[in-house]
Amino acid sequence: MLSSAFAPCQDLAKWLLPYATSGDDGSHDAAHILRVFKNAMRIHATEGGEQDVLVSAVLLHDCVSVEKNAPQRDQASRLAAEKAATILSEAGWPAAKIDAVAHAILTHSFSANIEPQTLEAKILQDADRLDAIGMVGAARCFYIGGRMGSSLYDPADPSAKNRPLDDKRYAIDHFETKLFRLADGFKTETGQALARERHQRLQHFLTLFLDEI
């Protein structure tokens, strides 16, 4: 059972995993939730924070699915926060903890551009963004590019030396338009250290990719 992979929070995972994802987006599936959980636990071990609030926010941060190219994409985290609050409220959770989970979910999103105010929110944002850089980040970039119908790169100018970057047309452009910008925005010291390592991996990946083509 997948919930056992979320030890020592398997009981919470068993309850909330059925709500964790919606739609068929393989970049925001149960495997993504598990990776974010592992990232969050690694940061939490050093930085602290309320574990039940953090893990609940991890499990429910993508409980509403909105496609990357949808007009309401920047509302995805707000919709997920509202749904999470309803789920926890119906289970009788204290209002303060519900608010803390909802805030973490609301502020985790790059598109929403809302600053996290609590430690748990900062950890969730860092944990989620770690999954957007490094090798997994590269894989997710190309997966989403294919899902959106974009090409891998512009064969005439792959590095965009003489054209504007356009990550809607070319997946590799997303490295420069977003992925390389993420490492500078991590909120916790532990997250920053992990981000530097994955950022270097992502830069190395792009160098090798461009060499091969």
Domain identity same for 136 and 116: no
Q: Are residues 105 and 150 in the same domain?
A: no
148 and 65 housed in the same domain: no
Q: Shortest CA distance to 104 belongs to which of 39, 36, 43, 56? A: 56
Question: Is 80 among the domain residues?
Answer: yes
Residues 179 and 146 in one domain: yes
pLDDT in tens, the chain (213 residues): 799 999 999 999 999 999 998 778 888 899 999 999 999 999 999 999 999 999 999 999 999 887 666 556 668 899 999 999 999 999 999 999 999 999 999 999 887 888 999 999 999 999 999 999 999 999 999 999 999 999 999 999 999 999 999 999 999 999 999 999 999 999 999 999 999 999 999 999 999 999 999
pLDDT for 69: 60
Q: How many CB atoms lie within 10 A of CB 203?
A: 15
pTM of the model: 0.93
Q: Which domain holds residue 195?
A: 132-213
Distance (Å, whole) CA 134 – CA 7: 25
What pLDDT is stored for residue 71 in this prediction?
A: 57
Structural domain count, the chain:
2
H-run or E-run covering 93: none
125 in any annotated domain: no
